[in-house]
Structure 1
Amino acid sequence: MRRCGHQVNRLINPRLITLCLTALLLFTSVTSWANSRIQVAVSPEFEQPIRALLQEYRQQQPSTITEVLVIPTKDFRNNLRSGTQNEVAFYIGFTLKEGLKLVQRGNADEVRQFVDGQLALWAPQESARDLDVLLLQDRLITLPDPTVSPYGQAALEALNAAGLKSRLSKRLVEAPTLKDNALFIRLGDVGAGFFNYRELLSMQVAPARDVLRIPQRMYQPIHYSMILLNQSNRDRAVQRLVRYLTSEDARPALLQAGYL
């Protein structure tokens, strides 16, 4: 019995236990270091293309784990002011102008231009080739509120460039929301409407033959930005991901999603 007890004591030698625990902690530390976790936030319109790109990136960088938060720009702006987004590496969804303001106010570390939005006209059953199609009818034309939406302002600029703004001014009405804009057209309450092309695509309500993408030369570019937060611009894993999302490799997916 004494001999057996002596062997048991040797098996549970405190020094051996200490060595095992040290090795376990070291392994856990190395594993944590090798796998980078990056929290990304996007506005709803960017969710689908960014998720697709991150899935492709994970195949190239298996050690990088990304978490996507979908937060409207208004809510994210409020979160920044209250300091409740301490783990987000970067956010995609603000216009470049808005992003620059956030950096100036100290709410973000850095801003980078990401993609450009496209203005589109949905004119059902008109197979529009240019904005002159609006002269073929005498019905109302909807557009987003120009005071809050860059697409509403772009619509006015495009009409002005086409020499149609004054001729159509009495028929222009502001749609409260994107969904309202689409609903008015589907119900036949209005004859045509201006949209963010990306969001019009995502709703899948307008046949391609009825959608006219307005040439960008007819309105001021709508630049979207990527804002870097929480000193993430110093993180190598974040830098690699940002380089990928802004590289030519990511362009096809963004073009397909309706951006320029």
Structure 2
Amino acid sequence: QSYVERLATQGLTADDGSLYAIGQLVLFIPSGSSAPADAGLQALAAAINSGQVRRFAIANPAHAPYGQAARQALQSVGVWAAVQPVLVLGDNAAQTARFTIAGSVDAGLIPRSIAAVPEFAEHGRWLALAEGLYTPLQQRMVLLQDAPPAAIEFYRYLQSPPARQIFRQFGFQSPD
């Protein structure tokens, strides 16, 4: 969203953009991991102390929006400090999901849009995080100045009810 806002303030866009979806974080436990999935983030500190979780992945909060949200969620439930010794940082949400789904870590916080894909979902189980643990991951698009007609048509389509239904099917919340 910040990139879209920068483009708009520079006068490079036809409008201020449109919020089209909201990303969600999930706790993903790969198959074969002994990490407790049903207890959620609250049980993470105990699982680390008991050795059930030796590596825990999030996207790098220094530059990845999903990593910033993951840090907020871990701080919200009071386990950020406990996670530090076992924390594995992915460059971005996609790399973090690969670490987690492959079983390279015992658990991780990844986008629901990735965890829900059947090819990935079969490699573990996931639990949605409670609302309010992190700032919503707003997905915003913008139309550039002098956009061709096909881009304008696609921009409008992505704001339509059928497109929003597709986003919901693939793990995003609708902004309305």
TM range (shorter): 0.7 to 0.9
- Aligned runs of 1:133-148 on 2, under 5 Å? 133-134=43-44, 135-136=46-47, 137-148=52-63
Q: CA RMSD, aligned part only?
A: 2.9
**Conserved in 2, the CA contact under 8 Å of 1:232 and 1:238?**
yes
Query: 2: distance between equivalents of 1:242 and 1:175?
Result: 31
Structure 1 residue 132 and structure 2 residue 47: aligned? Answer: no
User: Higher helix share goes to which structure?
Assistant: 1
The code of the aligned residue for 1:131 comes to L
**AA at the equivalent of 2:65:** P
Q: Evaluate the alpha carbon distance shift between residue 173 and residue 107 of structure 1 in structure 2; reply closer, same or farther with a 3 A threshold.
A: same
- Offset at 1:239? 6.1
| Partner amino acid, structure 2, of 1:229 | L
Greater relative contact order, per chain length (Cα 8 Å cut-off, separation 6+): 2
Unaligned 5+ segments in structure 2 are none
* 2:169 counterpart residue number: 256
Secondary structure of 2:132's partner?
Answer: helix
2:101 and 2:21 map into 1 onto residues whose CA distance is 29
Structure 1: state its 5+ residue gaps: 1-95
Partner in structure 2 of residue 205 of structure 1 = 120
Aligned residues: 163
Query: Are the aligned partners of 1:117 and 1:224 in contact in 2 as well (CA < 8 Å)?
Result: yes
Matched to 2:112, the amino acid is: Y
Instruction: Label 1:118 to 1:182 Cα distance change in 2 as closer, same or farther (>3 A).
Output: closer
Give the Cα separation in 1 of the matches to 2:102 and 2:164: 36
- Aligned pairs for 1:18-167 within 5 A: 96-110=1-15, 111-125=17-31, 126-134=36-44, 135-136=46-47, 137-167=52-82
Q: Deviations over 1:99-135 (max 9, x none)?
A: 0111112332221211111112211354434213423
Distance in structure 1 (CA, Å) of the matches to 2:129 and 2:30: 16
Q: Counterpart amino acid of 2:6? A: K
Alignment partners' CA distance in 2, 1:177 and 1:244: 28
The residue aligned with 1:174 is 89
CA distance in 2, matches of 1:249, 1:180: 30
TM-score scaled to structure 1, two decimals? 0.54
